[in-house]
């Protein structure tokens, strides 16, 4: 075949066939016939270091996954235009009727960094990125109002603020809000530390990010 | 903690810490310090049955991943509005300077099915999905012009046509086109069969989808 | 006379004078004095094999006929420019107050074939044809969404879809829609098979094309 | 069938099947298989009293027919938009390679009358008709410059002038002009008198309309 498909990817796919597919074969055959019924949607970053299926160690059929730059949820908008993330949220809530939506931020997020570096400069990184990460503006405003002790790691502070804002935006979708109010859907914030593998989860009352596993929990 | 984070996810994360993280610990520590340098971007579907890192059997740091409904690339547009997928493509090409972009479709795609089922009906599944999958319209037109022998599986024909259209749309981004013309970037079409695990790759000349691995190649 | 008018046409006109005109002389004299009052408008193709007056076996004064490539009705458009077909529809509905509009497609339509052959290629047949048959795009989308059993004859499927789309477009003209709603006008879809002479009529409820004459009806 | 297709038309179609189709059956079967190869294109009016196939007494496959209000040819225009008549001309010349184009006007033309009645008034007959028959403006200017003896029948004078202008406009299409210059295509003006059945043909040198058949010719 006159294709120049990357050899590394083809080789990786070969390993998948021998390992991953063999392991999940029955599940995949069943999923192909009966369709997917994931109970969880994850909104995560495109970052190559953050794979939701990896972090939650799940096989096929478990997570409905949106990945965009900086794991952002736009606010509900009735304007024209193609809203990819909004479409995915609508599909997850209305069609798949997922029970949970997890917005998962992460450390060293390049989208957050681009926002912090370009806010006072021309959008050097380009027209689309610049406009997309404008969605972080409310998070930046929230962060600017934090007490000083929260600002010793401004990159982290904005990563957290970004997740909080995305959760707020999620609730602006009438069908999300209705499902949450009816108790049929829960929304969660999370944050993943690439280097240490630590996952933190947002406490919905305090809006603080706490370790997902209590101390000692990881040795059970 | 007053969180109601799903127990299944927390348990899965516990398994990840003991297995996935242990396995890739060094890589992740290094990736946290030096940043990501993926050479491949994959544009894939949100579908819970299609995980690019799984299909290509790669660890953290390898794939920059966009996932949206029906793995669509919008055409280059200079209009206002937040274009999440376009922002990710710009980030991958301009900032990360990836060498390959793979648009990966898949069997039983619910976005494609929604398009085929709703084109002549009210967009019952909602406003965002309806507008988003309008991006499939050129693919539908291409499909309507296919010879009859390509139309015996219209769902598959449109899945293929959708990938081809996304590849065309990719080339409408000036920075993508420039990188491809300069030989610095290659774009690829692929299609994954959930049930059989088969991956097909588009021949760029014939635009046909052929098995990624030649017969017998998967047992080497 | 220094004319080079085709001899065949002149000879044909001679035959008309002896046959057609003699037959309809009174009608034509009356029509010349009192003007036309056709109750039916037919929108048909330029194709030399499809003559509405022939297929409906009517004499002068019966059918107000638009003929364009692929019997297309454009959607109502308020833009500048000369819209010949729209002007004819307006004349038929507002001035002549016709009671019926029949959009008649036909087999082996070259306009439909040109669309199917050129959609993925340069519009080799030229700028005007290419732009004109773009009006078939919504029909192509509708066709791409048909169940597989409708796609075994894609040329026919698109001929049908083209008629359906033209009927939809007809209703976008406010004066057409108002007349239909008031019960003063009916719109019909039809399709003519050149080889067999069969005429099919669209059932307005199912949108299926059925034989115009029930079995045996043609020998009454 | 739940159709309300006009009974008159269905009955007429029944007569066609027994007469017209039987008469031309072999020709139609052949035309369905081998396609159309008409050597003549006729641009005629939608008027129900003017049927080109009738006036030239020809069967299926002979005439490629455009019919629009007032048998007008727009000038060649490179603007966007759907130009139905231009598309048909292009198809006839480039694809079918017809040898003759006949622009056929006729007596009591409603389009010409609408122009003459509305030129100094609001376009009471509507937006599309008004814009379409603006194509007659150059014909009106030409007519306004005629000597007085040509103006005793201004309706006729403008019908003639309209045909002359359409012939001029035809030549503005580069592919028409090239074919005419190469001797591969001839363009003709004609005018049909509904009441008397007389056909007049334009002398290309004098631009006068003369009887198609010389005196006595009709009794040969």
Q: Where residue D220 falls among pLDDT bands split at 50, 70, 90?
A: very low
Confidence check on the interface: ipTM exceeds 0.85, yes or no:
yes
Residues C3-26 have a mean pLDDT of 92
Residues C195 and C166 in one domain: yes
DSSP string, C96-164: I--SEEEEEEETT-HHHHHHHHHTTS--TT-HHHHHHGGGGHHHHHHHHTS-GGG-SSHHHHHHHHHHH
The tokens of B186 are what? Answer: 């290659």
Residue whose tokens read 């398009």: B115
Q: Where residue A77 falls among pLDDT bands split at 50, 70, 90?
A: confident
Q: Where residue D150 falls among pLDDT bands split at 50, 70, 90?
A: confident
pLDDT score of A180 more than 60: yes
The b-or-e profile of D148-182 (16+ CB within 10 A means b, else e) is: eeeeeebebbbbbbbbbbbbebbeebeebeebbee
> What spatial distance separates the first Cα and last Cα of chain A, rounded to whole Å?
50
R_g of chain A, CA atoms, integer Å: 19
Q: Which residue has the higher pLDDT, B165 or D143?
A: B165
pLDDT score of D80 more than 80: no
Among C119, C141, C153, the residue with its CB nearest the CB of B148 is C153
Give dist(CA D220, CA D216) in Å, integer. Answer: 7
B45 is in an annotated binding site: yes
Phi/psi of residue D99, nearest 5 degrees: -95, -20
**The pLDDT of residue D200:** 96
Our measurement of the distance from residue B147's CA atom to the centroid of its chain's CA atoms, rounded to an integer in Å, reads 26
**The pLDDT of residue A142:** 87
Q: Which residue has the higher pLDDT, D27 or A119?
A: D27
Question: Considering only CA atoms, which of C129, C12, C52, C47 is closest in space to residue D65?
Answer: C47
pLDDT score of C195 more than 50: yes
Give the CA diameter of chain C.
61
R_g of chain D, CA atoms, integer Å: 19
Angle in degrees, CA C23, C26, C27, rounded to 5 = 90
Mutate to test the interface with C, among D13, D44, D48 (most CBs of C within 10 A): D48
The b-or-e profile of C81-120 (16+ CB within 10 A means b, else e) is: ebbbbbbbbbbbbbbbebebbbbbbbbbbbbbbbbbebbe
**The pLDDT of residue D57:** 95
The tokens of A7 are what? Answer: 């050899």
In this structure, of A195-209, C23-37, C205-219, D47-61, the range with the lowest mean pLDDT score is C205-219
Question: Considering only CA atoms, which of D204, D131, D212 is closest in space to residue D171?
Answer: D204
**The pLDDT of residue C77:** 82
Question: Quick count: other Cβ atoms within 10 Å of Cβ D116?
Answer: 16
**The pLDDT of residue A217:** 42
pLDDT score of C181 more than 50: yes
Residues A25 and A66 in one domain: no
Instruction: Decide: D and B in contact? Rule: 3+ Cβ pairs under 8 Å.
Output: no
Interface of A with B in 131-190 (CB under 8 A): 131-135, 175, 186, 188, 190
Q: What is the CATH number of the domain that holds A103?
A: 3.40.1050.10
Domain that holds residue B125: 36-219
**The pLDDT of residue C80:** 65
CB A97 within 8 Å of CB A39: no
**The pLDDT of residue A121:** 52
Give dist(CA A60, CA A37) in Å, integer. Answer: 11
Question: Considering only CA atoms, which of D58, D55, D21, D68 is closest in space to residue C60?
Answer: D55
Residues D60 and D6 in one domain: no
In this structure, of A75-79, D97-101, D181-185, the range with the lowest mean pLDDT score is A75-79
**The pLDDT of residue D24:** 95
Question: Quick count: other Cβ atoms within 10 Å of Cβ D214?
Answer: 11
Overall number of domains in chain C: 2
Question: Quick count: other Cβ atoms within 10 Å of Cβ A179?
Answer: 20
Residues D117 and D10 in one domain: no
The mean predicted confidence, pLDDT, of chain A is 89
DSSP strand pairing (C63-68 vs C40-45): parallel
Residues A128 and A172 in one domain: yes
| pLDDT above 70 coverage of chain D, percent | 90
**The pLDDT of residue A214:** 67
Q: Where residue A30 falls among pLDDT bands split at 50, 70, 90?
A: very high
Q: Where residue A220 falls among pLDDT bands split at 50, 70, 90?
A: very low
The tokens of D103 are what? Answer: 């622009």
Residues D99-112 have a mean pLDDT of 96
The tokens of C84 are what? Answer: 């010949």
Task: Judge: C131–D80 Cβ closer than 8 Å, yes or no.
Answer: yes
The tokens of D47 are what? Answer: 């008027």
Burial class of residue D118 in the structure, from the number of CB atoms within 10 Å of its CB (0-12 exposed, 13-18 middle, 19+ buried) = middle
Residues C18-46 have a mean pLDDT of 95
**The pLDDT of residue C177:** 97
Give dist(CA C178, CA C181) in Å, integer. Answer: 5
**The pLDDT of residue C119:** 57
Task: List chains touching A (3+ CB pairs under 8 A).
Answer: B
Residues D47 and D4 in one domain: no
**The pLDDT of residue D134:** 87
Task: Judge: A16–B194 Cβ closer than 8 Å, yes or no.
Answer: no
Angle in degrees, CA A153, A156, A159, rounded to 5 = 150
Q: Where residue A149 falls among pLDDT bands split at 50, 70, 90?
A: confident
Q: Measured between beta carbons, which residues in chain C are less than 8 angstroms from residue D132?
A: 82-84, 86-87
Give dist(CA C177, CA A161) in Å, integer. Answer: 53
The tokens of D94 are what? Answer: 């480039």
Question: DSSP character for C75?
Answer: P
Q: Where residue A122 falls among pLDDT bands split at 50, 70, 90?
A: very low
CB D61 within 8 Å of CB D31: yes
Residues B20 and B99 in one domain: no
Give dist(CA A130, CA A90) in Å, integer. Answer: 25
| pLDDT above 90 coverage of chain A, percent | 72
Distances (CA, A) of D145 to A36, A182, D157, D159: 77, 80, 11, 15
Looking at chain B, how many residues does it have? 220
CB B188 within 8 Å of CB B209: no
Q: Where residue D26 falls among pLDDT bands split at 50, 70, 90?
A: very high
Among B64, B102, B125, the residue with its CB nearest the CB of A48 is B64
The mean predicted confidence, pLDDT, of chain D is 89
Give dist(CA D86, CA D53) in Å, integer. Answer: 21
Q: Measured between beta carbons, which residues in chain D are less than 8 angstroms from residue C57?
A: 12-13, 15-16, 19-20
Give dist(CA A2, CA B210) in Å, integer. Answer: 10
Our measurement of the distance from residue B61's CA atom to the centroid of its chain's CA atoms, rounded to an integer in Å, reads 17
Give dist(CA D84, CA D65) in Å, integer. Answer: 12
CB D28 within 8 Å of CB D21: yes
Residues C42 and C130 in one domain: yes
Residue whose tokens read 């098995």: B211
Q: pLDDT (tens digit, 9 = 90+) per residue, C147-175?
A: 888 899 999 999 999 999 999 999 999 99
DSSP strand pairing (C63-68 vs B199-202): unpaired
Give dist(CA D132, CA D72) in Å, integer. Answer: 9
A106 is in an annotated binding site: yes
Q: pLDDT (tens digit, 9 = 90+) per residue, C108-124?
A: 999 999 898 875 544 44
Quote the minimal CA–CA distance from A145 to chain B in Å: 25
**The pLDDT of residue C37:** 96
R_g of chain C, CA atoms, integer Å: 19
**The pLDDT of residue D12:** 93
pLDDT score of A206 more than 50: yes
pLDDT score of D155 more than 80: yes
Residues A34-45 have a mean pLDDT of 97
Interface of B with A in 36-95 (CB under 8 A): 36, 38, 40-41, 46-51, 53-58, 60-69, 72, 74, 78-92, 94-95
Instruction: List chain B pLDDT tens, one digit each, 220 residues.
Output: 546 899 999 999 999 999 999 999 999 999 999 999 999 999 999 999 999 999 999 999 999 999 999 999 999 987 766 689 999 999 999 999 999 999 999 999 999 998 988 755 544 456 788 889 989 999 999 999 998 888 999 999 999 999 999 999 999 999 999 999 999 999 999 999 999 999 999 999 999 999 998 644 444 3
**The pLDDT of residue C123:** 47
| pLDDT above 70 coverage of chain C, percent | 90
The mean predicted confidence, pLDDT, of chain C is 90
Among B65, B135, B190, the residue with its CB nearest the CB of A46 is B65
Residues D111 and D25 in one domain: no
Residues A166 and A215 in one domain: yes
Question: Considering only CA atoms, which of D142, A116, A46 is closest in space to residue B90?
Answer: A46
DSSP strand pairing (A186-192 vs A63-68): unpaired
Give dist(CA B133, CA B116) in Å, integer. Answer: 10
Residues C119 and C130 in one domain: yes
Give dist(CA B215, CA B211) in Å, integer. Answer: 8
Q: Measured between beta carbons, which residues in chain B are less than 8 angstroms from residue C144?
A: 116, 119, 139-141, 143-144, 154, 158
Task: Judge: C69–D87 Cβ closer than 8 Å, yes or no.
Answer: yes
The B100-106 sheet, strands edge to edge: A209-211, A199-202, A186-192, A100-106, A40-45, A63-68, B63-68, B40-45, B100-106, B186-192, B199-202, B209-211
Q: Measured between beta carbons, which residues in chain B are less than 8 angstroms from residue C147?
A: 154
Give dist(CA D211, CA A56) in Å, integer. Answer: 90
Give dist(CA B5, CA A204) in Å, integer. Answer: 10
Residues A25 and A40 in one domain: no
> What spatial distance separates the first Cα and last Cα of chain C, rounded to whole Å?
51
Sequence-separated contacts (24+) of A157-160 with Cβ below 8 Å: A158/A112, A158/A115, A158/A116, A159/A105, A159/A106, A159/A107, A159/A109, A159/A112, A159/A191, A160/A105, A160/A191, A160/A202, A160/A209
pLDDT score of D122 more than 50: no
Quote the minimal CA–CA distance from D39 to chain C in Å: 10
pLDDT score of D215 more than 80: no
């Amino acid at each position: 075949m006159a294709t120049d498909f990357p050899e590394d990817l083809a080789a990786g796919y070969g390993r998948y066939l021998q390992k991953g597919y063999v392991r999940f074969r029955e599940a995949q055959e069943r999923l192909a016939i009966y369709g997917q019924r994931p109970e969880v949607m994850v909104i995560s970053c495109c970052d190559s270091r953050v794979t939701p299926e990896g972090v939650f160690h799940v096989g096929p059929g478990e997570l409905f996954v949106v990945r965009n730059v900086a794991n952002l949820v736009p606010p509900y908008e009735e304007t024209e235009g193609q809203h990819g993330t909004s479409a995915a949220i609508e599909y997850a809530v209305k069609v798949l009727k997922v029970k949970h939506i997890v917005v998962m931020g992460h450390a060293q997020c390049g989208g957050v960094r681009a926002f912090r570096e370009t806010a006072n400069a021309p959008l050097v990184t380009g027209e689309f990125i610049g406009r997309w990460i404008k969605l972080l503006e409310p998070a930046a405003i929230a962060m600017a109002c934090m007490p000083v002790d929260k600002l010793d790691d401004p990159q982290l502070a904005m990563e957290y603020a970004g997740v909080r804002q995305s959760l707020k935006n999620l609730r602006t979708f009438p069908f999300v809000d209705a499902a949450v109010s009816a108790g049929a859907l829960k929304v969660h914030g999370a944050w993943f530390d690439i280097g240490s593998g630590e996952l933190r989860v947002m406490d919905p009352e305090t809006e603080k990010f706490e370790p997902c596993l209590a101390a000692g929990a990881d040795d059970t």
